[in-house]
Amino acid sequence: MSIRIALAGNPNSGKTSLFNAITGAMQKVGNWGGVTVEIKEGITSVNGTRVTVIDLPGTYSLSAFSEEEQVARDYLVKEKPDVVINVIDATNLERHLYLTVQLMEMGIRPVLALNMWDEVTAKGDSIDLKQLQALLDVTAVTTSARNRTGIDQLMLKAIEQAANNNKEVSILSVRMPEELEQSITAVEKSLKEHFPDLSQHRWYATKLFERDKTIEKIIENQPGAPLIRAQRNESDILITKRLGDDPASLIAESRYGYIAGIARETIVKGKQHRIEVSDQIDVVLTHRFWAYPIFIIFMWLLFQATFKLGEYPMGWIESLVGWLQEFASSTLPAGVIRDVIVDGIIAGVGGVIIFLPNIMILFFGISIMEDTGYMARAAFIMDRLMHRIGLHGKSFIPMIMGLGCSVPAIMAARTLESRNDRIKTILLTPLISCSARLPVFVLFAGTFFPKHAGNVVFLFQVVFSFGAFILMAILFKHTLFKGCADNPFVMELPPYRLPTVRSVLIHMWHKAEHYLQKMGGVVLLFSVILWWAGSYPESPAIEKEYDSKIASINTTGQLSSEQREARIAELQTEKSAKLLEQSYIGRVGHIFEPLVRPFGTDWRGAVSLITGFVAKEIVVGSMGVLYSAGTEGAEESDVLRAKLKEHFTPLSAFAFMLFVLLYTPCIVAFITIIRELKNWKWSAFSVCYQLIFAFSTATIVFQIGKLLGLQ
């Protein structure tokens, strides 16, 4: 026997912790086409019954206005799980029962998990379970996901309920004000007449008064729809006039009225009134003066942990990849296959997993922030500033993390609840200069502005990148997102809680898995393609020419061994440059030359920029090859600096740096953007706007500079 149980509940109800407690690490992200919202699935077994547990997105309501609500409701309506467990924060029964009432209006009889029961008893409060079960006609179990208590009982009750499923469930209908009640009944009657196939006509009628777009769509274009809509609209106006409030509000109010009654009958308040620890913590963390220094320290710690601490495992990964490459090239016979494996696949895999330490550490930190409740406070104190540029308080974290690497930063945009805020943040985050762009700035600043190198690097890395971020944010706010009203900020500030190690680790692991599964493959594929485009078509003629040159040097005895080695290295670089020039990437670079000319760069620059698509730090390496200066320690190389001076002026160097700062992020970041946006139009827009922005900025600066007679 096997059953499916769906977990529904508000955000912060401990739903995910409960899900983790039930299913352990055995979970996967369900694939539900076209939605950005994840539904997780886990499997467990209770007394021989195979139980699939589905973790629905956390929602406050089922009104289907947000994507989360839509997904949760669709799942309940279409997939019809055997049992729905409604996870409730028992310390906040009243608000959490709102969702319960909505579930019951849909004809679902949930099993209530009164979670965080340990907190209720710690406060000296209680809930009259018997009374609650009797009043709502449901089964309720007290649980604590943190202490892992009550979970077996919960599962047993859920399975019991599944067995009784064929019993007729009475649909809850909350009493509304008289006029509204009559109007709903009237619409219900018309619905029954015109849509006899629908079940739960009352629910549909109520939803129509709540102006539910999905339900309106269902009846749209059907005979009878205009009549019903007219009926609804007329009653709507009448009720609004008479009762002073629109039906949607009255319905919500009626539900809360019903809940207030239940709460009054069931909540047993303890006598003790101690000052809540949570409030005391809050006094410090959102203090008028201390809030920001503390926040900056936390951000600094998170940043340092993510990128500095991350360097160690990244080093291990690099040496492991290097070792693998060596091992493969020494064991495999020379040829195309060896090249593909060593330089394509192994290098590609290395390029993918190199980001894992960053992602895991960052999400370790983020899930601690979320589980403790500090994330909401961070948004609370930052919202004023971020809202000025049309963003949400929580957008701050992706923005700061962007300084390290765009990939985890873009993933961090997940913490934003509204889709618009998420899109804006994802579009803007790549503008923040990641650490991989730093070598380019160091090289160019050191070469062309040696006296002010430090300041110039700072200018690009911090001033220009944040400037671009703010500028584009304001531009987006007034153009693309002009029509869109700001999403309500209305955000719960949950009490501070200690996170459990288990839940933090599961979250971290989950992110890593998500990254590997969703992005790894594509990134790998693209890396191999880019490697191929940089190495093919092969040119035996060039290879032969240089090989013979090198051979001839080896045979001539005129040079000392040192001179000979230097000459060989020179020839090797020249050979690489020639090979790269006639490769596909080199050819594309030539084609693109007219596009980089306006800001003073030649085809070599174009090729470097294209290779920068693999990873930004490659730009410097490519330049080393193309300007025939060797690749070793390129950014410190005096040879490269000298060569660059031949091809760039300080002005064109400045323009080139601007372009590097602003243009499309690397392939991994780009795939991350696509995966997180889940929308081709926005993804394409993301690339295009950055290219256009980079091109026009670099060109304008270069051309104006030229007009002003700057070099």
Partner 1 sequence: MTADTLTSTLEDYLEAIFNIIATSKVARSMEIADKLNVKRPTVTVALRSLADKGLINYEPRSFITLTEEGKRIAHCINKRHHILKDAFVEVFGLQETEAEDAACKMEHGMSTRLCQKITSLLQTIREDKALAQKLKTKMAQSEDGILCERNCLYSQNGSGSKNGKDSAQSDLNLIKPGKSGFITRILGKGELKRRLYEMGITNGQKITVVKAAPLDDPIEVKVRNYNLSLRREEAANILVEPE
Sites of contact with partner 1 (CB under 8 A): 60-61, 63, 65, 92, 94-95, 98, 175, 177-178, 243-245, 248-249, 252-254, 256-258, 260-261, 264, 286-289, 291-292, 376, 379-381, 383-385, 387, 485, 487-495
Distances in Å between the Cα of 425 and the Cα atoms of 23, 223, 463 are: 33, 44, 19
For partner 1, which is the closer residue by CB, 167 or 264? 264
Work out how close the CB of 151 gets to partner 1 at its nearest, in angstroms, rounded to a whole number. Answer: 25
Among residues 106, 68, 107, 102, which one has the least CA distance to residue 88?
102
Considering the complex, what minimum distance in angstroms separates the CB of residue 50 from partner 1? 36
Nearer to partner 1, 470 or 516 (CB): 470
In the complex, minimum distance from the CB of residue 93 to partner 1, in angstroms, rounded to a whole number? 9
CB nearer partner 1, residue 41 or residue 246: 246
CB 179 within 8 A of CB 239: yes
Question: What single-letter DSSP state applies at residue 54?
Answer: E
- What's the DSSP call for residue 304? I
Neighbour tally for 175: CB within 10 Å: 10
Measured from the CB atom, is 61 or 70 closer to partner 1? 61
23: left (phi over 0), alpha (psi -120 to 50) or beta: alpha
Nearer to partner 1, 34 or 488 (CB): 488
CB of 290 to partner 1, least distance (A): 9
**In terms of CB distance, is 422 or 575 closer to partner 1?**
422
Taking the complex as a whole, the smallest distance from the CB of residue 210 to partner 1 amounts, in Å, to 8
- Give the closest residue to 297 by CA, choosing from 412, 380, 415, 400: 400
User: Is the Cβ of residue 286 or residue 572 nearer to partner 1 in the bound state?
Assistant: 286
Shortest reach from residue 261's CB to partner 1, in Å:
6
CB of 136 to partner 1, least distance (A): 17
CA distance 508 to 367: 8
Q: What is the CB neighbour count within 10 angstroms for residue 82?
A: 17
Q: Which is nearer to partner 1, 489 or 682 (CB)?
A: 489
- State the CB neighbour count (10 A cutoff) for residue 434: 24
Measured from the CB atom, the residue of 262 and 345 that comes closer to partner 1 is 262
Using the minimum distance from each CB to partner 1, give the nearer residue, 234 or 279: 279
Q: Nearest approach, Cβ of 254 to partner 1 (angstroms)?
A: 6
**469: amino acid identity, one letter:** F
The least distance separating partner 1 from the CB of residue 371, rounded to whole angstroms, comes to 17
Q: Which residues pair with 115 in a beta bridge?
A: 89
Return d(Cα 339, Cα 278) in angstroms, integer. Answer: 59
Among residues 106, 100, 52, 57, the alpha carbon closest in space to that of 77 is found at: 106
Tally Cβ neighbours within 10 Å of residue 202.
18
Minimum Å gap between C-beta 108 and partner 1 is 18
Q: Nearer to partner 1 by C-beta: 249 or 556?
A: 249
- Residue/partner pairs of 417-421 with CB below 8 Å, 24 or more apart: 417/66, 417/68, 417/487, 418/66, 418/392, 418/487, 419/36, 419/66, 419/67, 420/481, 420/484, 420/487, 421/391, 421/392, 421/394, 421/395, 421/487
- Give a three-class secondary structure readout of 105-160: HCCCCCEEEEECHHHHHHCCCEECHHHHHHHHCCEEEECECCCCECHHHHHHHHHH
515-544 CB burial, b ≥16 within 10 A, e <16: bbebbbebbbebbbebbbbbbeeeeeebee
Shortest distance (Å) from residue 64 CB to partner 1? 11
Cα–Cα dist 431/416, whole Å = 19
